[in-house]
Amino acid sequence: MKIKNCIERTYCLYASEWHLTVMLLPFISKKLYEKNRIYMKFENSIEDKMNKLTERLKIKNKDEIKDIKWNLELNDEDCTMNEKVYIVAGSDQYIEEMNQSIIEYYKNKDCKVKIINCFDICADKEKHNLIIDKTYVSTLTTRGESAIS
């Protein structure tokens, strides 16, 4: 049974790499528990921070979180019905390029894809043009994911 092609975009705002790590960890844990695939596309990796935090907390799927592959190419042969979640962080240009690549790769595939764009609110404000447009369906905060009304 095939599913309808669906690409959703979510955004989150963070103040530091540790803030982003703390915000993403419960979300990632939940998505892995639901058997979704997680892909981390970071211009500057926070993998070491994620590993340190998972070691300090009591998380049931700690090993699965540690096994997440960072910055893999878009060549997923996973044909499951489960959602594929791409978490993207970096400069505006990096985020835009990754979004275009992901959308292009999945545009003719029957699958559900969620792209979470993570924006550093403390980045150089003169070079940062944060525009949250109507293509975003939800936001991710420290309280979790919520729909944009």
Domain boundaries, the chain: 6-147
What whole-number distance in Å separates Cα of residue 93 and Cα of residue 101? 12
User: Is 106 a residue whose pLDDT tops 80?
Assistant: yes
What is this structure's pTM?
A: 0.85
Q: What is the largest CA-CA distance in the chain?
A: 48
Among the ranges given (85-89, 109-113, 115-119, 120-124), the one the predictor scored with the smallest mean pLDDT:
120-124
Higher pLDDT, 71 or 98: 98
For 80-103, how does the pLDDT look when each residue is reduced to its tens digit (9 = 90+)? Answer: 567 899 999 999 899 999 999 999
Higher pLDDT, 109 or 90: 90
Task: Give the highest mean pLDDT range of 37-41, 107-111, 119-123, 124-128.
Answer: 37-41
